[in-house]
Chain A
Amino acid sequence: MWGAICRTMTNSGAPSAGIVVAGHGSFAAGLRDAVECVAGPQPRLATLSNHGLDADGIATALVEAVDRVRANVIFTDLPAGSCTIAARRLAKARGTITVVTGANLPMVLDFLLTERDGALGATLSAEKGRDAVFVFTAEQAPVTEDGSHGG
């Protein structure tokens, strides 16, 4: 139901440019799976794993993924990652692509669900992703008057 609503939302209006999520191992496929659990199928989203590829192989696969969904934003996992290196090289060559590192689910969901686009959209979604990081430390159980830990 929610997925259907989201599909309707994301399919309305002019079609947006796509995005590529790229990273180590199954990071991108896992992120895609999580996005689609929340928001339904995402035809704007292409994924890429660096697994088993050298730098040239990653570059080739990235061009294919970017062109397939007409992406102008690439989300990657680690700033130091080989996908980020390839993405930044492609961004330099094309001059129209924004690269966002440290991608997380709130960030990519925000980008897709609010129909964001391009550098400004990527900047706003990156902020959302950053804002979604909280640390909840273990809470101390309240101490009662007799010194025992209450429940």
Chain B
Amino acid sequence: MAVDLFRIDDRLIHGQVVVGWGQPLDLAFFVLVDDAVAASDWEQELYRMGVPPEMELHFRSVEQAVADLAMFQARPDYGMVLTADIGTMRRLADAVPVPRVSIGGIHHRAGRKPKLRYVFLTDDEENALRALAASGVEVTAQDVPSAASLSLDALLAATGDE
């Protein structure tokens, strides 16, 4: 399978993704799944600037990603699928096989409680992650490849004191 990395990260394409994951894992492509970005040329150009020329960046709405995921999975090289939020990833996982999801960054905002340095969750978001796991998806948290991958149970039990 070309795509084993499904990442939730509210910053989408940024340094940690491109430099932290893309370069050491020799990723050939990213698939950014976001309905708003898929509908905006300007937003796409913004994210495209952050990706070096040797890496491909593809933009898909959820609907388009559902249609095209098998094509990406059939590629001989490796890539990462990115969404900015849990809801978008759930919509994707409801429609196509998503074996595991890694939370790379859900940052502080009013109403969210601290879990890890890079993960803050509302009660609804915690429940959404539990539902994602209950549907058969392995949910973990990991910001960079060199950091430990935490299980969902460990993530939900954390209180930001790491």
Q: Decide: A80 near B13, CB < 8 A? Known: A85-B47, A88-B46.
A: yes
In the complex, whether A41 has a CB less than 8 A from a CB of chain B is no
A56 to B: closest C-beta gap in Å: 7
B84 surroundings in chain A (CB, below 8 A): 55
Contact B14 A80 (CB under 8 A): yes
Check if A57 sits within 8 Å of B15, measured CB to CB.
Answer: no
Q: Mark B40-78, 1 if CB is under 8 A from A, else 0.
A: 001000110111000000000000000000000000000
In the assembled complex, the Cα of A63 lies from the Cα of B46 at a distance in Å of 18
- Contacting chain A: which of B91-99, B105-113, B148-156? B105-113
Q: A52-B117, A54-B10, A88-B46 are in contact. Are A81 and B109 (CB under 8 A)?
A: no
Q: Contacts A78-B19, A79-B49, A92-B42: A85 and B14 contacting too (C-beta < 8 A)? A: yes
Residues of B within 8 A of A (CB): 10-15, 17-19, 42, 46-47, 49-51, 84, 105-109, 117-118
**Contact residues of A with B, CB < 8 Å?**
24, 50, 52-58, 77-82, 84-85, 88-89, 92
11 interchain pairs, CB-CB under 8 A: A52-B108, A53-B107, A54-B105, A55-B12, A78-B15, A80-B15, A80-B19, A80-B49, A81-B15, A81-B50, A89-B46
